[in-house]
Structure 1
Amino acid sequence: MTAETTVINFDPNMNCSGNMSTKTIRMTFGVWDYRLIKEITVGGNGAGFHNIDSALMQLYEDVEETGIVLKRESDGETLLCEDDDDQGEDWLKDMLIAAEIIAIAPQEWPKD
């Protein structure tokens, strides 16, 4: 692990017995040397890859009509990527080069 890595307490009890936790997923998309990093928050009692898949579906719903813009760090040039072949979230999966659950929090219950 590097000095930049923060270890989160991924308590499996927050994802079982009907507990509904909130997870933040950081996803990096890449085409050639163009990149886009998105952080998506998902809820529910799923764990592991299920959360990443949920984040991809949510992001696809948000960008289905507009596409996503990736940026090249070296010169700031941008690249518009769209779902031209109507692949659905598989279009995003093809560009996904990294995904990580970076935060988990218990469900906040309404106060009486």
Structure 2
Amino acid sequence: MKSAVLVVMLVVLQGCSSQVLNLPLFTEEEKNFYLNHISEVVDCLVDATKTDCHEATHRIRSVMPELVRRNFKCQCDAQKDVDLFVSIISKPENAAYNRKLAAYINEHVNR
């Protein structure tokens, strides 16, 4: 089963605030699937060795440092998807996945 990150995350803040980040767009069907499988999405984002992830995962992971620096503002067509992902992962029932993603960001992005 292919999973990927909506856009988060991943995917993030200042840098060149006028620069648009190139985040993938997902179909409604893909978004619904990923939002209902947050654990798999986060696993794909934090584990570069996973092989059953959506093809866009690598691209999302590669822009994650900039997305984090921009406070998850991409100035791109995918901004609504980023906002949706952030709202879903911030829910109390997704706290474990939020912590897992935060730990990854602290270890790999906030160096």
Place the TM-score, normalised by the shorter chain, in its bin: under 0.3
Task: Report which of the two structures shows the higher radius of gyration computed on alpha carbons.
Answer: 1
Question: Which one has a larger percent strand, Structure 1 or Structure 2?
Answer: 1
TM-score of the pair, normalised by structure 2: 0.23
Greater RCO, CA 8 A, separation 6+:
2
TM-score of the pair, normalised by structure 1: 0.23
